[in-house]
Amino acid sequence: QVQLVQSGAEVKKPGASVKVSCKASGYTFTSYGISWVRQAPGQGLEWMGWISAYNGNTNYAQKLQGRVTMTTDTSTSTAYMELRSLRSDDTAVYYCARDPQALYSSGWYGYWGQGTLVTVSS
């Protein structure tokens, strides 16, 4: 069965970086993409970007351009999302989700990770 298992909760200081991992199993990793979505406490969902696990192509939300990097390690079927220059408003649960397409983001997600809480606080 398809599973996406994310790394554990993080506490970071403003200005620091965080790298969240998402390990996939139960399917051929390189045949799909991975998108990242975050949710601030008590708030709605925000799409952050997408990476192709096939060729590494990315597309990031303009709001996060320059601060976010998404990568994959096909040898371990793991996707990573790094966010730099953290601010208090980056405090959120970060989710990875499997995108049905490998060459472009189809935008709808049938499988999600369990979420990773990132808290930014001095």
What is the closest distance, in whole angstroms, from the C-beta atom of residue 75 to another protein in the complex?
26
Mapping DSSP to helix (H, G, I), strand (E, B) and coil, where does residue 2 land? coil
Which tokens belong to 118? 């990132």
Rounded least distance, CB 1 to another protein, Å = 12
Which lies closer to another protein via its Cβ, residue 79 or residue 97? 97
Q: Taking CB under 8 A as the rule, which mask of x and - marks residues 25-64 in contact with another protein?
A: ----------x-x------xxxx-x---------x-xxx-
What is the greatest pairwise CA distance in the chain? 41
Residue 48's nearest CA partner among 24, 22, 73, 27 is: 22
**Which residues, numbered 63-122, are part of the site for another protein (CB under 8 A)?**
63, 95, 97, 105-110, 112-115
What is d(CA 83, CA 67) in angstroms, rounded to the nearest whole number? 6
Q: Which is nearer to another protein, 1 or 122 (CB)?
A: 1
Which of 28, 25, 76, 29 is closest to 51 using CA atoms? 29
Q: Which residues sit at the interface with another protein, rule CB under 8 A?
A: 35, 37, 44-47, 49, 59, 61-63, 95, 97, 105-110, 112-115
